[in-house]
Structure 1
Amino acid sequence: MAVTFLEAISELCGWVYTICWSLSFYPQPLLNFRRKSTTGTTIDFPAINVLGFVGYFISNAAFLYSPRIREEYALRNHGLTPTVQFNDFAFAGHAIVLSAITLSQFVPSLWGFERRGGPGSKPSRFIMGILVGSILGVVIVALIVLVRDDPDPATGWAWIDVIYAFSYVKLFITLVKYMPQVLTNYRNRSTQGWSIGQILLDLIGGILSILQLGIDSYLQHDWSGITGNPVKLMLGNVSVFFDIIFMTQHYCLYPGNKSKEYMEGEDDPLLGDSDRERRIE
């Protein structure tokens, strides 16, 4: 009875976190659309997000639907099945689409936005380096497996290592993707243009994702379910960590502050005509 109850809780946590994390992708593109501008945000975040979630989608798909990868996972994890759930797979696919839409908003002609230059309008060298390095990393692991494919996947190189490489791309990207926006908020002394709604939803999703992983591993009576799915574990923890930083910036450090662009005289798209007139006076 207790097991059935925990299984139900796990499934509930999984779908609630999927819904929260999926909804967290909407506030930013909707805010950009309402403002007809991407000022206050950086292209680095959606650009690196697309690659990260492509890697996450591929790894989830393999752990869910590839007999070979599931067999190799079992050989390395006491005969257990992966703790990846269908809601993880669904979330990754949805995230790719929404990240791509947000990324497309940095092409003003596609959306009728104001043209924008300056910091944040083009990918930074740091982010471009991560994008290229991540792709090369996966290619190198794949080449190693092709050359040294071991007959014993439990101890040698195997195709599961390529899938882990895809998942580690997502893990690494999650560790660094928030930093450009954190620094942008710090330089502007403002979070204007950066949606706090996505952060609140992201926080709830991160907590529930970690909870689901813990429950699933407990039900297997083996905590290797956590170590065998390090991306989901770190994805939740890192997201929660940076969500707390963004909330601190928004509610404690820079509440109500205008970004530098608007401080220097640029019209704020969120203001109405009467508000602009009062500001001029």
Structure 2
Amino acid sequence: MAASFLHLVSSIFGWVYTLCWSLSFYPQPILNLRRRSTTGTTIDFPAINVVGFLAYFISNTAFIYSPQIRKQYAERHHGLMPTVQINDMAFAAHALLTSLVTISQFVPGLWGFDKKGRKGPGARLSTGILTIIIGSFLGVGIMAINVAARHDPDPKTGWAWIDLIYTFSYVKLLITLVKYMPQVLTNYRNKSTHGWSIHQIILDFVGGLLSIGQLGIDSYLQGDWAGITGNPVKLALGNISVFFDIIFMIQHYWVYRGKRGTAFSENEEAPLLDGQTNGEQSNGSS
């Protein structure tokens, strides 16, 4: 009875976190559309998300549907099956598509946005993020060549195709570690979170907590915590997301509360300072 209940809780956690994380991809493009501008946010975030979620989708799909990968996983983890769930794959596919939509908003002509926003902070890929993207593709290619050349029939002792799938997973892990930093720094430089949707952060935070919870329940039901160590990306996704979400919430609700900084679009009205009148604002007083 207890096991059946925990299976139900795990399923509920899984689909609710999938819903929260999936919905978290909508507030930012909706905000951009409403403001007709991408100022205040960076192209780095959706760009690196496209690469990360492509890798995550490939790894999840392999762990769920590839008999060879599932067999090799079992041989390395005491006969257990991967803790990857259908909702993990569904989330990755949805995140990939919505990230593509968001990155398209940085091409002003496609959406009728203010073209002046193209020159603002974060309008172009940073060198660091571009380097990580290129390095990720190179890393996967090198591992594929390595496995093909040194493939061992016994996955316990040698190279196997599961190592290539793990490489996709580690690409996602690396990207999760760094993808939030450009936006954290942009908020810091702007001294504002204006243009960066806090609603996506709240949904991301709830989703991260539930994802960690589902992984813990699934490992408990298997009676082996290898379910966590064997799925390091899902564990990292939840924990790293929660960590950075807390940083964003501190920035929004405490450090830069009520501040709009320098990130507003030229089509938007700048905020009045204390004691300032509309006439003073139009004269450029500060």
Quickly name the TM-score band, shorter chain normalised.
Answer: over 0.9
C-alpha displacement of 1:154: 1.4
Q: Which amino acid aligns with 1:259?
A: G
* Paired position in structure 2 for 1:255: 257
- Rounded to whole Å, the distance in 1 between the matches of 2:270 and 2:194 is 10
Letter aligned with residue 169 of structure 1? V
Q: Where do 1:235-250 residues align within 5 Å?
A: 235-250=237-252
Distance (Å, rounded) in 2 between the aligned partners of 1:196 and 1:216: 31
CA distance in 1, matches of 2:261, 2:72: 51
Deviation at 1:114, TM superposition (A): 0.5
Cα deviation digits, residues 50-98 of structure 1 (max 9, x gap): 0000000000000000000000000000000000000000000000000
Q: CA deviation at 1:270?
A: 9.4
Post-superposition offset of 1:118: 3.3
Q: Is the 8 A contact 2:194 2:263 kept in 1?
A: no
2:127 to 125, 128, 133: 125
In the alignment, which residue of structure 1 is the partner of 2:274? none
Residue identity opposite 1:202 in structure 2? D
- Kindly indicate whether the alpha-carbon contact (under 8 Å) linking 2:41 and 2:195 is maintained by their aligned counterparts in 1: yes
The corresponding residue for 1:163 is 165
Measured in 2, the distance between the counterparts of 1:266 and 1:105 equals 17
Distance of 1:227 and 1:269 partners within structure 2: 50
Distance 2:184 2:44 in 1: 12
Give distance in 1, aligned partners of 2:278 and 2:96.
Answer: 41
Shift of 1:259: 2.5
Q: Deviation at 1:151?
A: 1.1
Aligned-partner Cα distance in 2 for 1:205–1:67: 29
Partner residue, 1:16? 16
Secondary structure in 2 aligned to 1:12?
Answer: helix
1:118-156: CA deviation from partner (whole Å, max 9, x where unpaired): 321110110000000011011111110010000101121
Give deviations 1:189-247, integer Å, cap 9, x for gaps. 00000000000000000000000000000000000000000000000000000000000
CA distance in structure 2 between the partners assigned to 1:3 and 1:270 by the alignment: 57
Structure 2 SS opposite 1:260: coil
1:81 and 1:269 mapped to 2: Cα distance?
56
Mapped pair 1:102 → 2:102: yes
Q: How do 1:176-191 and structure 2 match up within 5 A? A: 176-191=178-193
Q: 1:168 to 1:270 in 2, by over 3 A?
A: farther
Q: Assess, with a 3 A threshold, how the Cα gap between structure 1 residues 12 and 261 changes in structure 2: closer, same or farther.
A: closer
Match of 2:268 in 1: 268
Q: Distance in 1 between matches of 2:112 and 2:48?
A: 24
**Matched positions, count:** 275
1:29 corresponds to which letter in structure 2? P
> Contact conserved, 1:36 with 1:269, CA < 8 A, in 2?
no
CA contact (8 A) 1:35 1:269 kept: no
Q: Which amino acid aligns with 2:104?
A: S
Q: Is the 8 A contact 2:56 2:92 kept in 1?
A: yes
Q: Residue 248 of structure 2 aligns to which amino acid in structure 1?
A: F
Say whether the 8 Å CA contact 1:182–1:246 is kept in structure 2: yes
Counterpart AA for 2:177? L
The one-letter code sitting in structure 2 at the alignment partner of 1:104 is S
| Structure 1 runs (4+) greater than 4 angstroms displaced | 276-279
Q: Is it true that 1:139 corresponds to 2:138 in the alignment?
A: no
Out of 225, 228, 231, the position equivalent to 1:229 is 231
Q: Once the two structures are aligned, what percentage of the paired residues are identical?
A: 67
Alignment match, 1:58: 58
CA distance in 1, matches of 2:201, 2:157: 41
Match of 1:196 among 198, 201, 211: 198
Q: Does 1:214 align with 2:216?
A: yes
| CA distance, structure 2, for counterparts of residue 112 and residue 11 of structure 1 | 42
Question: 5+ residue gaps in structure 1?
Answer: none
Distance, in Å, in 1 between the alignment partners of 2:254 and 2:132 is 31
Give the Cα separation in 1 of the matches to 2:150 and 2:140.
Answer: 15
Residue equivalent to 2:177: 175
Q: Using the TM superposition, give the Cα deviation of residue 261 of structure 1 relative to its aligned residue in structure 2, in angstroms.
A: 4.0
Aligned partners of 2:29 and 2:257: how far apart in 1? 22
Give 1:67-86 correspondences, 5 Å limit. Answer: 67-86=67-86
Q: SS at the partner of 2:42?
A: coil
Does the Cα contact within 8 Å between 1:22 and 1:94 map onto a contact in 2?
A: yes
**Could you tell me which residue of structure 2 aligns to residue 42 of structure 1?**
42
Q: Distance in 1 between matches of 2:110 and 2:278?
A: 30
